[in-house]
Amino acid sequence: MYYIVTGAAGFIGSSLVKALNERGERNIVAVDHLQNADKFRNLVDCEIADYLDKADFLEKLQEGFFDGLVSAVLHQGACSDTMETDGRYMMDNNYQYSLELLNYCQNEEVPFLYASSASVYGAGRISKENREHEDPLNIYAYSKFLFDQIVRRRWSKRTAQIVGLRYFNVYGSREAHKGRMASVAYHFFNQYRAEGRVKLFEGCDGYGNGEQLRDFVSVEDVVKVNLHFLDHPNKSGIFNLGTGQAQSFNDVAVATINTLRDVEGKPALSLDEMQQQGIISYIPFPDQLRGRYQSYTQADIAALRDSGYAAPFLNVEQGVSRYVEQMLKAAR
């Protein structure tokens, strides 16, 4: 029997493959589309049974090659570029692809865990898994929203576990290939090491400089939640996956810089001290993001807790510090 992980060479997908390996699982079919060939590095330390390009995988799926051979599908494959403007590409990649996998898993009675997104909430201040709070601002968010809607329509007739996880702002190891779409923690780390300072956006939507708030969640916690549902196939639903506590971009910058300063043998600084010394500065908010930007996100994780997931989440100070240490180790 095989675990199928789509987007397996990506950020969260490769983290799940590695976590399955750590559980002793080696029968993993890794599915991806390596147009960005550098992603292969995320699988170098992983053990898999086979790699398939997305197109080849779908063809084999339709031919019945995997019938009766799948333990679960962890579907992480998607175009995650929120600035993508090709709507046909986005809908084919994020919606239609997901729909084919959902249909297959339901026909074969196979657990299906998939990546949704907190972007479905748009600019709203309430992030709760109800239709009235969902208002996507771009085609990426709409592609995720529409698939969640299809899942809801089929809910009463499901034949096996379906879990949609609405990821909030995920950061952590194995995201370097994402370039400009990598987390702010990744960018702050590289900026500070290169220039000795970091740059954040000026304030917008009534927030001060760098004070926009997001629910930043470590990929370590994202993996744990996925495995929780994998271990409880009787649990289904669409769940927010964040810490439940919004923190500012300034908080991420301070945590990143102070971890690096500690390694350098320098004392920690406050935000005010970093601003005064020019270690943290601010650049104009991009015009192209106005009206398409989430200035506040905070996951309501009541449903996740009700599902039985009780483990604590890393906050920014804990998670970013661990991530910076991991990046330093990898850079040596």
Active site residues: 140, 178
> Burial level of 267, CB count in 10 A (0-12/13-18/19+)?
exposed
User: Can you say whether the dihedral through the CA atoms of 54, 60, 62, 65 is positive or negative?
Assistant: negative
Greatest CA span in the chain, whole angstroms?
63
Q: Closest Cα partner for 48 from 93, 13, 82, 81?
A: 13
Amino acid at 22: E
Dist CA 180 CA 73 (whole Å): 28
Residue 101, H or E segment: helix 97-108
> What DSSP character marks residue 60?
H
CB crowding 172-207: b at 16 or more within 10 Å, else e: bbbbbbbeeebbbbbbbbbbbeeeebbebbeebeeb
262 close to 268: Cβ distance less than 8 angstroms: yes
CA distance 4 to 51: 10
State the CB neighbour count (10 A cutoff) for residue 224: 15
Which of the 8 DSSP states describes residue 259? H
Helices (H) and strands (E) in the chain, counts: 11, 13
Q: How many CB atoms lie within 10 A of CB 66?
A: 17
Pairing of strands 247-248, 213-214: antiparallel
Amino acid at 90: M
